[in-house]
Structure 1
């Protein structure tokens, strides 16, 4: 398993370094909800129902393009509240940072690579994994039907590399497919994600629908309900609402 993990990460790094860059500003990553080429602040709130109670996450995310704007930095700061049968508590979750690289983009399709790292910063053991986790990923995006329909497919590998020895390791592979349809100032999208946890030896899948609207030239809002399925699912159902600020 360790050899497969190293091969997977090495391949992603190899393709990211050696891919040829085509500069094209009008690409799939300029579609509603995906603004890789402008500074973006995203604030969202997500409620999840679980068998042991509920979790509510309020998260601040900042996206910052650099260089030729083929590179993009990302920072995540979550504030989590847990409501269980025994107690209610609130605290900071695992803080994350990431970098994306888009080596090839044109008007109808694009490739991208991303690596995220989440630190073991949670103020409570229920608010984080107890581990440092790295998440390399690869994306392919393409417009369909005269740029009204956008397809994004991705594969991501999540693996822990440090942290508390008393907590379980993290080893999850996630494969997602998203379809986004835009019309006027609005969009609707659906996402189907398969996640296999090799530590728990089970699936932690989920699916969501999202409804969004551009309310001003630089502000967008969205809401999406989701449901989880699989023999090792982490929640039952959830709902997320967010605000994107472009500047």
Structure 2
């Protein structure tokens, strides 16, 4: 039986290089994998940090369109696996019929998600503190990264993850999230009733950037969907769950789910 390709989509502030261990795990299981970066990303974290202006002003629609073009160039419809904003994009691609199945790991809120925990607000402040950041690329300090991503690992590990994978991120997607409630054409909108392939949404119990209650609400928005939607919680994990030292637990759960999807 031929396995579908697997495409990994990273989230805001993290380079696609963080997916390398996942790619090796999935390749060993017989999958062909891809981890293309966002529009504006360079080939390495260091090169991306050197050109933050390349990411300035890019929003969810442009990011989704870039991945749609990539998926359309593959020999078969893939399985898409996304983290954070990558999880939001994965849901959109699945609903649009461009993927056979999708996994959304601590996904950024879709339009219709109304939960707004204080931790999530604090995690977004590096962007939202200035309206000018809508058209800029924003860099997280080590301290900001520690709160938003590395709070469930040691301080030393958080620092190493920041040094290895953190990159500038466009501010526009965060502003699009905050405007979604009043924007009927929000780029964060997903067709919850689409007939589509299976979807797995996961939450992380210690996540500050996308608190678990937000992931759970996203799952609830699919309650009337005619298609398979599953949910899983990693209770003690933070937003770095896909690329910190505990990545294998998450990846193995996803790999098992993909094998059944």
| TM-score normalised per structure 2 | 0.31
**The structure with more strand, counted as a fraction of residues:** 1
Higher RCO structure, 1 or 2 (CA under 8 Å, sep 6+): 2
**The structure with more helix, counted as a fraction of residues:** 2
Between Structure 1 and Structure 2, whose CA radius of gyration is higher? 1
| TM-score normalised per structure 1 | 0.32
